Homo-oligomer: A and B are copies of this chain.
């Protein structure tokens, strides 16, 4: 046992230990590949040297305003360079970055700014009115509210009046703010890697938004995990279809600095813009929710550049992609990886690891395997599906539903100022995802529903996801979402909200509903067949997630289902 003592006599020192933080990635990119492209936004191109200098200026300018450790900086912006830069500039000053969803209304933004006591608000000119209104609400709410420093990001591609207006209201021009900082600013890594790096609010469909606090350690580890999961190598060209404000762009902002990759910014996502960027910049990777992929797959021929000139890797999640989408995209030349995660796990942390032996299976089997969420990323040390009462793992039978729970270094610190939520979410030493899944024989997990999305009909648990998956394979359906509708007889029954494909004849709605229902009857147990089918566009969040809470409210308004048709 001499060894133990000897080894304890070798403590950490400044030469062999430093905090893990993704900030190192940027400094290294600037040193190794100073002239390689870091960011492209329209006609604006930056190199890693420039990005590093801009981020140093950012941190320096913040510290000139005495913003540092303990302060929060909120950013309200679409996928523009300033939001990318904030992911380095803010933590380089020791502060915490709060990325705000640009689709939120003013009162929610006000709640966020107040809740995280933002010392600085940086807002894109397109969203200045939103910020202005939110700040008004904040000042009205409490007398003690201290207005944050307000900075506006201009964009030469946008309305110059909006920018001028913001400046006239006293906002600091973002570029002037940067210019006031020192490009050689001597930033320091955090003293402790457990220090917070970012704060993001969950959409809060059922309660007040919860502030997910992420740490430097996890951001470092997830950045590398995400690259390894995807086989993403040096020099990747990444298209920003995924909002950077959505869980820090699943940490890919930091990954790209680690890989000396290039970010292609997109203020607004459209199928046409995606195809254009693939063509022009040789995009190798992008992330998108299934609904975005749907629009890419169903884009009019003149907007596409099919067949693709090179392989494009697509990471999709947020909702299980229906089999028809998976096979369709792969036929077009996209390589889809299906993954799953939450803001609380630094973005996706589970993925459907593909096995070469699956390549030779028939398309339906492939799609079925591919639609599963899968196995853990390398940064997540434990992934389990448990019986919520006993906390014991469910059997690997592909049938027994339990809750997905996780443990590992890519789990958040907790929710900000919310001890009750923290107690619940970390109960029994696990992070509780709130998602329900089964575990297959090969250990891959498959989500059946969010806890709150499950439909309980006559005592039976019905997975809304399973019904949706069937609906997506119907030839006329572009998008589908199924929620519980109050039911006189069964308590709840499935209600399907459906968007039809552009060229579908919907003149005889009744006939179409019957066709869809008989299609469902042929494919599922009768108690699972929707009792109601509603046509129309589906409400979505900023990240393209269908807002089931709104549909649920709509289903409730419709009153109890009495018959098997509308």
What is the interface of chain A, defined by CB distance below 8 A to chain B? 1-7, 10, 12-18, 20, 24-25, 28, 31-33, 69-72, 96, 116-117, 189, 194-196, 213, 218, 221, 224, 227-228, 231, 233-235, 258-259, 353, 355-356, 375-376, 378, 381, 406-409, 411-414, 416-417, 422, 426, 429-431, 443
Contact = CB atoms under 8 A, between A and B. Distances in A.
A356 B1 CA distance: 52
B33 A355 contact: yes
B412 A16 contact: yes
B10 A414 contact: yes
Nearest to A21: B381
Nearest to A231: B233
A16 B4 CA distance: 27
A10 B416 CA distance: 8
Which of A71, A117, A194 counts the most B-chain CB atoms under 10 A from its CB? A194
B16 A413 contact: yes
Given A16-B408, A258-B228, A32 B353 contact: yes
Contact of A15 (B2, B33, B426): B426
Contact of A16 (B233, B355, B431): B431
Nearest to A377: B28
A7 B413 contact: yes
A467 to B, nearest CB: 30
Contacts of A218: 16
Nearest to A14: B429
B228 A231 contact: no
B411 A213 contact: no
Contacts of A33: 353, 355
Contacts of A14: 407, 429-430
A116 B2 CA distance: 8
A31 B382 CA distance: 11
Given A224-B224, A381-B18, A71 B32 contact: no
B31 A213 contact: no
Nearest to A98: B3
Nearest to A193: B409
Nearest to A229: B234
Given A13-B426, A231-B233, 4 more contacts: A2-B117, A3-B72, A16-B218, A258-B378
B69 A406 contact: no
A378 B224 contact: yes
Contacts of A413: 7, 10, 16
A259 B228 contact: yes
Contacts of A13: 426, 429
Contacts of A5: 70
Contact of A234 (B28, B189, B213, B231): B231
B431 A15 contact: yes
A543 to B, nearest CB: 23
A96 B429 contact: no
Nearest to A432: B15
Nearest to A431: B15
Contacts of A24: 378, 381
